[in-house]
Amino acid sequence: GKGAQEGAGARKGLGTLLVEKFPVFVIGFAAMVLLTSLGAFGSVGMKCPTGISEAEKAFLQCGLPPSEVIKMLRLWMTWIFGFGLVGLGGYIDFKEIAQAGGTPLKLGLIVGVTKYVLALIVVLMIRDYLVAI
């Protein structure tokens, strides 16, 4: 009857649920990380950590030049990111910034500086590891 149809309608597929719960770019990012990690696009051009065996180097696919697919994806990423920034800039109007007052500008500055300071702290904490790679 009607109750069975409502129950079936209430069930959602995994894809629908993921798209509702996560922004599509997050799902795409996770999918690309997984595919790249599995070597679907070839070597990413990663440096080899020091002191590892040839078998480990082969497993990690490190020390190889980046594949043509990876080079192309990086180029696309650069252009798409640039277009995105141009698009954002197209929506910025200095009159609106002046009308909003200094509070949003101050808040943005505080958030930006905080983000950069935290990033610097993380880099300083892991720099020895990064240098070893």
Per residue in 48-96, pLDDT (tens digit) is: 888 888 888 888 778 888 889 889 998 999 999 899 889 888 888 888 8
pTM of the model: 0.49
**How far is the C-alpha of 130 from the C-alpha of 128, rounded, in Å?**
5
Mark out the alpha helices in 23-101 (DSSP H runs): 24-37, 54-60, 68-90, 94-100
Q: What is the pLDDT of residue 118?
A: 97
Rounded to an integer, what distance in angstroms lies between the CA atom of residue 37 and that of residue 55?
17
Whether the Cβ atoms of residue 61 and residue 43 lie closer than 8 Å to each other: yes
